[in-house]
Structure 1
Amino acid sequence: MHLASIPSPSQGVWHLGPFPLRAYALMIIIGVVIAVWLGEKRWTAKGGSPGTVVDVAVWAVPFGLVGGRLYHVVTDYQMYFGEGRDPLDAFKVWNGGLGIWGAVAFGALGAWIGCRKLNVRLAPFADAVAPGIALAQAIGRWGNWWNQELYGKPTDLPWAVEIDYAHRPKDAYGAVLPQYETVGTYHPTFLYESLWCLALAIVVIWAGGRFNLNHGRSFALYVAGYTLGRGWIEALRIDPAHEFLGLRLNDYTALVVFLGAVAYLYLNRGKARVPEPLTLRPETDETDAVVEPDGEAGADPAKGSEETEETSPAPAPESDAKPEPAETDAAAEDEPATEPEGTEPEQAEPEHVEPEHVEPGSETAEEAPAAEEAPEPASEPEPVPASEPAPVPVAETQDVPAEESGAEDVPGPAEPKDGDGPAVKTAKGEA
């Protein structure tokens, strides 16, 4: 034991009655919660709908756990299958053993299914959750510290981690290997990876905003950065693993994934200014049809407006006031009324207005309106020349004086002016 070292916990399980609370599982849960929280903030900042990350996580997290466990069991099958091994131990996830490669691959599959169900594109969604995944890994790695597993080579550095005798490397029969019987401190590879993932999350957030890493490039940067760090961290570990040409299997996996991520970044290097939709298809299937005033949709706006101008009659002016008659015939001739071609103006129905009293013989008697509307004659009478005005029957006017007839407001014919013709007396006089 060194004076400066990281002690390991004495236990990683607490029993709450019949229910065990395992620190390894607790670290994973905390990591998932933080990843969802950060991913939700980044997704809504992109313009996505709130709650989308939570809904997709319902698919991605279970798929990720299954994939991580499968990768670990397949690559370390000697721990679960063979002489003296219990295959049922492969299902004991709480004892540790989740391969990050399988977790990310199967988690991406689950995220794809969730995105399809929510009409969300996977690339922008992956960009939003990439830093959160790195943070989840940074927290989840402390589960290895609670279980005293996945540490590195022996070292006497001040930050070395202490490993109990029961958790030191063993052979196939469960006995501690002779070279580690007296060595108590080792490289804390869990701490190295945790700090690396924490720094990676910060870099992805910064680079994504600085260089507008959209279209899945932020996620590709996370993958490339993680595999780059995993390469040198994997070289420090001494836990049993398959090796080829002096490299562990995880080193080859990290190399292949790193090259793929770098290739993706290079091939999509010019998409910084390309708009990126968040959904697979429009939110609704309704088209932006043009609705005309008559309620018809889908018509051509230009053509529809021309047809409306040509075929629709001009609306009649709505007015409650009675149109005033022209003052003189000359003024009416000077200002003739104009009407649009092809249209018949609608006459507004005049309201009943008491006719203005006009003395018989006045000049405006002919222009005053009649008190009652006379029925239109079947045939239009012949016009009387101005020089020979029609005589007024004397008998009718003498028998019924205008003052006693009850139609005081009905004017008689006006006397012609001097020079217009022979003088004609009104109903009170003689012709």
Structure 2
Amino acid sequence: MTSQFIQFPEIDPIIFSIGPVAVRWYGLMYLIGFIAALYIANRVADNSKGEWTREQVSDLLFYGFLGVILGGRVGYVLFYQFEYLLAEPLYLFKIWEGGMSFHGGLLGVITAIYLFARKTNKQFLAVGDFVAPLVPIGLGMGRIGNFINAELWGRETDVPWAVIFPNDPLALPRHPSQLYEFALEGVVLFAILYWIMRKPRTLGLASGAFLIGYGVFRIFIEFFREPDAHLGFIFAHITQGMILSVPMVLAGIAIIVIGHNLQARAAINGATK
């Protein structure tokens, strides 16, 4: 029965180790994503006619890195392990045990963008537009890391490309939902934002498009992704990931409208002077 599906090989999550230091596939994927984002951001800065500098790019990515780590951890604990946190408050700081949330990381990055914008006297939405096309790169590489780690798999299915993951206690053929997320949240979302950034656009359009795009893609993929075992379905076929993604879509729409209105108001004020 299961021979017709893809048998996922057992891959050691550690590529190599030197003493107590271990290099893991998951970390390597994020490192590749970070280097690619840095390269693209520097290219954009070089072509910005002085609006951005490489030093500002380095500072912004450092702020963003801290936002991802701190926000991702706090978000995971609050959104997915809140009862465990109440029983053991120090669990929040046990990052080595794993557990990161995209939605928490997003809130951390938004906070980082706000702080960076204040420090550099840049518009918040303008900084968000600069960052938005960089995020899908890290997201996509992170999903590849999830797939290599054979974690966060999908629901049971009988499609020809179903995968049997080695650490699945039920050994069921499942959707490789990590690859679905890589394709939509990584490749497709980056292509959309790259296309937007290459054309004249209103303030906040890239930021809003990212929030809408990710929210819609995540809601769609949740129909194929297995919910966390300790959460299951919130009700019917609705998952926690879907619920957390709906505000993203609404916020994205609001940002596009706000950015358009701000730019239109600025144009009117400039014409009347």
Greater length-normalized contact order (CA 8 Å, ≥ 6 residues apart): 2
Give the corresponding residue for 1:206. 195
* 1:263 aligned residue: 254
Cα distance in 1 for residues equivalent to 2:84 and 2:163:
27
Instruction: Work out whether 1:245 is the aligned partner of 2:235.
Output: yes
Q: How does 1:251-290 map to 2 (within 5 A)?
A: 251-269=242-260
Cα distance in 2 for residues equivalent to 1:92 and 1:20: 18
Whether 2:46 is the aligned partner of 1:71: answer no
Structure 2: give runs of 5+ residues left out of the alignment: 268-273
Residues 157 and 50 (structure 1), Cα distance of their counterparts in 2 relative to 1, 3 Å cut: same
Q: How much does 1:230 deviate?
A: 0.2
Matched residue, 2:36: 34
Structure 1 residues 38 and 79: alpha-carbon distance in aligned structure 2, compared to 1, 3 A threshold:
farther
Three-state SS of the structure 2 residue aligned to 1:157 is coil
Partner residue of 2:8?
7
Contact 1:5 1:157 in 2 (8 A): no
1:62 is matched with 66
2:19 aligned residue? 17
2:219 counterpart of 1:231: yes
Deviation by residue 1:279-334 (Cα, 9 ceiling, x = unmatched): xxxxxxxxxxxxxxxxxxxxxxxxxxxxxxxxxxxxxxxxxxxxxxxxxxxxxxxx
Distance 1:250 1:266 in 2: 25
Q: C-alpha distance in 1, partners of 2:244/2:122?
A: 29
Name the amino acid aligned to 2:62. V
Q: CA deviation at 1:258?
A: 0.4
CA contact (8 A) 1:200 1:222 kept: yes
- The alpha-carbon distance between structure 1 residues 96 and 136, as it changes in their structure 2 partners (threshold 3 A), is same
1:212-248 deviations in Å (ceiling 9; x for gaps): 2342211110110010000011122223226433211
Which secondary structure state, in structure 2, belongs to the residue aligned with residue 20 of structure 1? Answer: strand
* CA distance in 1: counterparts of 2:85 and 2:52, whole angstroms: 46
Contact kept in structure 1, 2:13 and 2:149, CA below 8 Å:
yes
Distance (Å, rounded) in 2 between the aligned partners of 1:88 and 1:11:
29
Aligned pair in 2 of structure 1 residues 96, 88: CA closer, same or farther (>3 Å)?
Answer: same
Aligned residues: 259
Per-residue CA shift, 1:126-153, capped at 9, x if unaligned? 2122111011101111221232211111
Q: How does 1:42-121 map to 2 (within 5 A)?
A: 42-47=44-49, 48-51=51-54, 52-77=56-81, 80=84, 90-93=92-95, 96-121=98-123
Q: 1:215 aligns to what? A: 203
TM-score normalized by the length of structure 1 = 0.54
Q: Deviations over 1:402-429 (max 9, x none)?
A: xxxxxxxxxxxxxxxxxxxxxxxxxxxx
Cα distance between partner residues in 2 of 1:69 and 1:19: 22
Map Cα deviations across residues 183-222 of structure 1 (whole Å, 9 max, x no partner).
2x31111111111021111111112333x23422111101
Name 2:144's counterpart in structure 1: 142
CA apart distance, 1:89: 5.6
Q: Is the Cα–Cα contact under 8 Å of residues 160 and 188 in structure 1 kept in the other structure? A: yes
Name the CA shift for 1:151/1:56 in 2 (closer, same or farther; >3 Å): same
Counterpart residue type for residue 118 of structure 2: R
Structure with the higher fraction of residues in helix conformation: 2
Structure 1 residues 273 and 38, CA gap change in structure 2 (3 angstroms) = farther
Give the drift of 1:254: 0.7
| Alignment match, 2:271 | none
Q: Does the aligned pair in 1 maintain the 2:5–2:161 contact within 8 Å?
A: yes
Q: Percent identity?
A: 24
CA shift for structure 1 position 272: 7.1
**Cα drift, residue 109 of structure 1:** 0.9
Q: 1:269-348 residue pairs with structure 2 within 5 A?
A: 269=260
Contact 2:204 2:260 in 1 (8 A): no
State the match for 1:126 in structure 2. Answer: 128
Residues 6 and 157 from structure 1, CA distance in 2 versus in 1: closer, same or farther, beyond 3 angstroms? Answer: farther
Distance in 2, Cα, partners of 1:190 & 1:119 = 39
2:211·2:251 contact (CA, 8 Å) conserved in 1? Answer: no
Q: Which amino acid aligns with 1:261?
A: G
